[in-house]
Amino acid sequence: MHPKQNQPQKLEDLPNIGKSIAADLRAIGIFFPHQLTERDPLAIYHELSNVMGHRHDPCVLYTLISAQHFLESGGALPWWKFTEQGRKLLNQKSGRQKCQTRKVSW
């Protein structure tokens, strides 16, 4: 985060992090914003899914990336600006490739 800006003290002080996501993060042991910079957003996303017992919407990953971006740069951007970056991470880490459609003639 930019040194002249005040460090956020609570998770809810971060852009795009509301009460619900903050509560989920606390459930996996993340209590302070600086802890988000110490971990990979994708790893946090997967841990949330495992602990909560269900797959979270990918927008949660994009939100985590946006929070980390804010902490590292001081730039507050909407979570959806990180959609493409998040999709690439999901595809890369899962080993999935984009499907290519082929025209089949019968």
Domain-embedded: residue 103: no
Domain-embedded: residue 101: no
Q: What pLDDT is attached to residue 98?
A: 46
Nearest C-alpha neighbor of 63 from the set 82, 90, 40: 82
Structure tokens at 45: 């996303």
Domain-embedded: residue 88: yes
Cα 30 to Cα 10, 39, 72, 94, distances in angstroms: 10, 10, 17, 24
Domain-embedded: residue 7: no
CA-CA distance, 9 to 12, in Å (whole number)?
Answer: 9
Nearest C-alpha neighbor of 66 from the set 81, 49, 56: 81
Domain-embedded: residue 5: no
Domain count within the chain: 1
pTM for the predicted model, two decimal places: 0.81
Q: What pLDDT is attached to residue 102?
A: 41
Provide DSSP, 63-94. Answer: HHHHHHHHHHH-----GGGGHHHHHHHHHHHH
List, for residues 45-74, the tens digit of each pLDDT value: 999 999 999 999 999 999 999 999 999 999
Domain-embedded: residue 39: yes
> Do residues 86 and 58 make contact, with C-beta atoms less than 8 angstroms apart?
yes
Residue 88 belongs to domain spanning: 13-94
